[in-house]
Amino acid sequence: MLDAASIPLVLDVYRPERAALLELLGGLDTQDWDRPTECPAYSVKGVAAHVLGDDLSLLSRQRDDAENGLSQLSAELPNADFRTLLDTFNDRWVATAKFFSTRLLLELLQLSGEWTAAYYAGLDPEAPGESVGIFGALHGTSSPCWQAIAREYMERWIHHSQIRRAVGQRSLADRRFLVPGVEVAAAVARLEPGIPESPAEDWTLGPIVLGPAQQAADILTRARSVEEVQRLATGPAEMVRLLASVTGTEPSSAKRET
């Protein structure tokens, strides 16, 4: 199972994943950049700007020890819960970056991707870092740095796949990107990942069978509804329901950006 010792398998795909995203975005025309995504408020350009904002936020607060943007926002919105703060923070950034040219956005994504990869590669993965809620850490506590690395990869994989689907492509299911994605998901769920040797075999999370590569990528990058995940994944009923509640999407009107 993924841990501090094995986190290099995630780190090793940080640069290739960003290169693949830049290649995809670089081939889009104006109409493609304006296409709506599964998050109703964000176009393809909006999701790309959100990815850039994630990079800049983590570099500022993790690498440079700057005050967390959500903490700053909480002073303005003292009664807001975490979800409201996060949504407001993300929405404001995407609105601010709306005037960026697509060329500038690509250049900044290349730079921030390299800065992030270099920063994470230099960390002690066992050193204490910010709390990572998807691994069960409580707000204000500390998590080992490898968990932040894992979380950020999962974020990138999901957003990359959202952009691909918006322009008529499939979720990012290449084996080199799917392996670390399944490893992260398994670590979050505290289950053993099932990484098949043959393309014909199914990918698994413990006793949960996700299915072939493309279906597994669809489920884990939030391409399927709750009902679809429950129908496609097989295994113990309660575990499948829990997987669906985490990875399955709600009707489009209720979707929010992660």
Q: What is the pLDDT of residues 229-247, one digit of tens each?
A: 999 999 999 999 999 999 9
Going by pLDDT thresholds of 50, 70 and 90, the confidence category of residue 251 is low
**Residue among 115, 123, 122, 136 nearest 246 (CA):** 136
Angle between helices 44-58 and 102-121 (to 10 degrees): 30
Q: pLDDT for 96-146, tens place per residue? A: 999 999 999 999 999 999 999 999 999 999 999 999 999 999 888 999 999
Q: What is the mean pLDDT of residues 45-53?
A: 98
Give Rg (Cα) of the chain.
18
Each residue's pLDDT tens digit, 192-228: 999 999 988 999 999 999 999 999 999 999 999 999 9
Q: What domains appear along the chain, each with residue ranges and CATH number?
A: 8-191 (1.20.120.450)
Question: At residue 253, does pLDDT exceed 60?
Answer: no
CA dihedral 94→96→100→104, nearest 10 degrees, is -70
Cα distances (Å, whole numbers) of residue 216 to 3, 187, 202, 208, 245: 22, 16, 8, 11, 16
Q: Are 38 and 255 in contact (CB under 8 A)?
A: yes
252 pLDDT exceeds 70? no
Angular region, 20: left φ>0, alpha ψ -120 to 50, beta rest: alpha
The whole-number pLDDT of residue 114 equals 98
pLDDT of residue 255: 41
Average pLDDT over residues 27-33: 97
Q: pLDDT-derived band of residue 71, with 50, 70 and 90 as boundaries? A: confident
Q: Token pair of 227, please?
A: 């009902």
- Rounded to 5 degrees, what are φ and ψ at 129? -135, -160
- pLDDT the model gives residue 75: 87
**Geometric angle at alpha carbon 196, from 190 and 199, rounded to 5°:** 140
